């Protein structure tokens, strides 16, 4: 079969032949139709993600859409190594395959699953969002952040505050459900003042996709301005800005901030899959929006290093 094959650490996957998988007991053989290039898929393939197992060669791709032996159209997650989603055929445990509704097309299902899961799992599994709470999303102008605004509102958040660097994208978030926005390109004093006003009003949950300086400012603003004893659940999801922050110890001593992470290992695969299933189930009824760009898998070498835009890149396959 044709597949995107990773031959060594840090190498761009090559479009070449790979052995067609045979399903083991409890698994499905899947004829793949679409798979999205997510940050997780890229970083695992490049050996940079903490969950990478560094055994080569293998097929890239952590999830996708395809058809089972009986023709059922499914989304599947975490194929059995060395097989991946960027291939004509893949193999995954039956427990990680979920049937798709007819009104959700292959490209949208492939594109929305991973970024939608990031906020759904964070809000449901980690933060335990309650109806009527306020959610602040740090880094809401990216693909996952834009979905996080929509999903938080769908799950019952009364108020959603969005931060971001891209002013044009930030301006579009109110139409998706954001009640307030804070530009991360303003001067530091203006950012800090805006954050402190929001925390003084009341923020229950922070979803952080950026880490770095903006997360540091958020935590300091929360410690300074949140009402005494008001609990804030801070959920760390991504580190697009920086892998580390400098945090004064007094921030934690002087506040009721609960810090936690959300991702592989901090949430079980079964619960992550449940979050994905929920996103796929409500995508059309809730009107969740995600922009996609479609390309054939044969272009993966040329497209692999493409900077992520406002559209999720989805590779399609011919079996």
pLDDT tens, 196-253?
A: 999 999 999 999 999 999 999 999 999 999 988 889 999 999 988 899 999 999 999 9
Domain count of the fold of the chain: 2
| Positive or negative torsion for Cα 118, 124, 130, 131 | positive
289 and 254 assigned to the same domain: no
Residue 266 lies in a domain: no
Residue 292: name the closest of 83, 30, 35, 2 by CA: 35
Same domain (yes/no): 189, 304:
no
Phi, psi of 5 (to 5 degrees): -105, 130
In order of 27, 45, 91, 95, 97, the CA distances from 86 in angstroms are 18, 11, 12, 20, 16
Model confidence band, residue 185 (pLDDT cutoffs 50, 70, 90) = confident
Same domain assignment for residues 132 and 231: yes
pLDDT in tens, 274-288: 999 999 999 999 999
The residues facing 234 across adjacent strands are 206, 259
pLDDT tens digits, 33-70:
999 999 888 888 887 777 777 789 999 999 999 999 99
* Shared domain check, 191 and 58: no
Q: Which domain holds residue 77?
A: 2-104+284-316
**224, HSE (Cβ side, Cα atoms, 13 Å):** 14
CATH number where 311 lies:
3.90.180.10
pTM score, whole prediction: 0.91
Exposure string of 233-262, with b = 16+ CB inside 10 Å and e = fewer, is: bbbbbbbbbeeebeeeeebeeebebeeeeb
Asked whether the bond before 277 is cis by omega within 30 degrees of 0, the reply is no
Kindly state whether residue 95 falls inside one of the protein's structural domains. yes
Quick check: is 271 in a domain? Answer: no
Same domain, 139 and 227: yes
């Amino acid at each position: 079969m044709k597949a995107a094959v990773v031959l060594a650490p840090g190498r761009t996957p090559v479009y070449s032949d790979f052995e067609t998988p045979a399903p083991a007991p409890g698994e499905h053989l899947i004829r793949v139709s679409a798979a999205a290039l997510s940050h997780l898929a890229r970083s695992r393939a490049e050996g940079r993600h903490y969950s990478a197992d560094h055994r080569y060669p293998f097929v890239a791709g952590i999830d996708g859409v395809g058809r089972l032996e009986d023709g059922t159209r499914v989304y599947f997650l975490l194929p059995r190594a060395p097989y991946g989603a960027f291939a004509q055929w893949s193999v995954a445990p039956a427990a990680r395959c979920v049937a798709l509704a007819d009104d959700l097309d292959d490209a949208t299902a492939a594109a929305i699953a991973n970024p939608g899961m990031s906020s759904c799992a964070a809000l449901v599994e980690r933060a335990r969002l309650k109806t009527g709470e306020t959610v602040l999303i740090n880094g809401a102008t990216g693909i996952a952040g834009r979905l996080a605004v929509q999903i938080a509102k769908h799950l019952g958040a009364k108020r959603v505050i969005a931060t971001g660097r891209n002013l044009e994208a930030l301006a579009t978030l109110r139409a998706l459900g954001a009640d307030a926005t804070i530009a991360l390109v303003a001067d530091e004093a203006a950012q800090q003042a805006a954050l402190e006003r929001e925390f003084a009003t009341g923020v229950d949950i922070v979803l952080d996709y950026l880490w770095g300086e903006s997360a540091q400012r958020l935590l300091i603003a929360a410690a300074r301005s949140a009402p005494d004893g008001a609990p804030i659940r801070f959920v760390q999801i991504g580190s697009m800005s920086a892998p580390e922050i400098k945090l004064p110890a007094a921030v934690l001593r002087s506040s009721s901030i609960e810090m936690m992470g959300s991702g592989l290992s901090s949430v079980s695969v079964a619960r992550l899959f449940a979050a994905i299933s929920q996103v796929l189930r409500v995508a059309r009824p809730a009107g969740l929006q995600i922009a996609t760009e479609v390309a054939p898998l044969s272009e993966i070498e040329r497209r692999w290093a493409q900077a992520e835009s406002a559209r999720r890149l989805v590779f399609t396959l011919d079996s």
